[in-house]
Structure 1
Amino acid sequence: MISANQIFKAYKDLQVLKGVDITIQEGEIISIVGASGAGKTTLLQILGTLDKPDYASNTQLIINDTAINELNDKAIAKFRNSNIGFIFQFHQLLPEFTALENVCIPAFINKTPKAEAEKRAKELFTYLGLTKRIHHKPNAMSGGEQQRVAVARALINNPKIIFADEPSGNLDSESAEQLHNLFFKLRDEFNQTFVIVTHNQELANMADRKLIMVDGNIMS
């Protein structure tokens, strides 16, 4: 599903990633942990095609049998929208739009017809227990509800892979536990792959594999 070799990244004189190698299988849930500044979020952004590595002669990133390093920016954006979903610590919902409108945005970018996108979104709202919040704006929902709307948005295009950066970092313990269990339910039902950066040790230990980053590389 994901094969990354010799991933480097520097910001001016700061070398953040130092030749990371990582392989992730389809349907795996991987947690990435480590101290702040270890390079976790930078790695997640590169694996998720939101950022590019500093290419060395043997740098390669393959996702779902597609060599990302051989695509131009437009092709990468199209690939990302069709194959990848993102969940962030802060839900990143647009405050002027309803939950339904927020969830449908990636589908509209993917040129999905409005009726089809809204049908899929409503199915996700039912699945996630959000049917009473479809027409609510973010400020009328709890933190846990907002994060579940963000999960629905990540799922709207049926992506193969979900990247999550501290997804429960802004939630109370009960909402965090519900979100963690949801990830495993989604994997079991839809065989989606999850790559999760987290400081939450409970979530990290639930994963199929826990990878520890230290000083720009994966140690285990």
Structure 2
Amino acid sequence: MLKANGIHKSYGNLQVLKGVNLEISKSEIVSIVGSSGAGKSTLLQILGTLDKPDSGQIEMNGLDLIRLKGEELAKFRNEQIGFIFQFHNLLPEFTALENIQIPGFIRNTNSNQLAKKAAELAELLGISHRLDSKPNTLSGGEQQRVAVARALINNPAVVFADEPSGNLDTKNARGLHELFFTLRKELGQAFVIVTHNEELANMADRKVTMKDGLIEASDLIS
């Protein structure tokens, strides 16, 4: 589904990615681990089209993502990719429901259809009772579940998560990672998860280990 070949990225004289090759299959859950500075988050941002490589190729279902620009790129990102970040990035002036719906508003989805989809996701994620709440009244786990619902509202092909459980306690962190498997079963998305937590990384279908800007190992988890 998603293929990256020969990805290089430098910032000034610092080489962050040194020729990364990675393939993500449909509905696969992949964790990416490695020490700080290994290039994990940079790779995730490039795969998610938030940044461009200096060289290399990225394709999704045969579409050359490197060539996408402007409105075409924004449309592809909105429709095909979901993002979950460590700090949730919820808009404080909006309710949980409104935050979930934002990518759908951008896509001009019918308001009734959007409300129905948001309600279905909230039910699946166990936050139906908090939809009218503002982010500052939600727990960390609830905020992250709102962020997950927002990432899924447009039914993307792949969801990229950068340290999604980094601000959660152990119980909520494990619950979030288990939730990704439930969502994959129910909705069919692929998940690519950058994490420092080895225990949680080992819950994935495959664990990719990065070191010094390269993939050191790619191991199937039995």
- The TM-score normalised by the length of structure 1 is 0.96
Deviations 1:96-138 (A, max 9, x none): 1000110110001111122221111111111111111010000
Moved over 6 A (4+): none
1:66-145 → structure 2 map (5 Å cutoff)? 66-145=63-142
> For 2:198, which of 196, 201, 205 is the aligned residue?
201
Match for 2:107: what amino acid?
Answer: N
Worse overlay, 109-118 or 135-144: 109-118
1:25-104 → structure 2 map (5 Å cutoff)? 25-55=25-55, 59-104=56-101
Question: Unaligned stretches of 5+ in structure 1?
Answer: none
1:185-200 → structure 2 map (5 Å cutoff)? 185-200=182-197
Query: Residue 164 of structure 1: SS of its match in structure 2?
Result: strand
Deviations 1:58-101 (A, max 9, x none): x2100133111222232111101000101111110011100011
Partner of 2:6: 6
Whole-angstrom CA distance in 1 between matches of 2:68 and 2:85: 25
Query: Residue 119 of structure 1: SS of its match in structure 2?
Result: helix
Shift of 1:162: 0.5
Partner of 1:172: 169
Q: Percent identity, aligned pairs only?
A: 63
Match for 2:128: what amino acid?
Answer: T
Shift of 1:171: 0.3
Query: Residue 206 of structure 1: SS of its match in structure 2?
Result: coil
Query: Does 1:22 pair with 2:19?
Result: no
Worse overlay, 68-77 or 37-46: 68-77
Query: Residue 78 of structure 1: SS of its match in structure 2?
Result: helix
Whole-angstrom CA distance in 2 between matches of 1:101 and 1:190: 21
Whole-angstrom CA distance in 2 between matches of 1:190 and 1:94: 25
Whole-angstrom CA distance in 1 between matches of 2:173 and 2:188: 22
Whole-angstrom CA distance in 2 between matches of 1:73 and 1:38: 30
- RMSD between superposed Cα atoms in Å: 0.9
Whole-angstrom CA distance in 1 between matches of 2:97 and 2:66: 34
Whole-angstrom CA distance in 2 between matches of 1:111 and 1:142: 30
Partner of 2:220: none
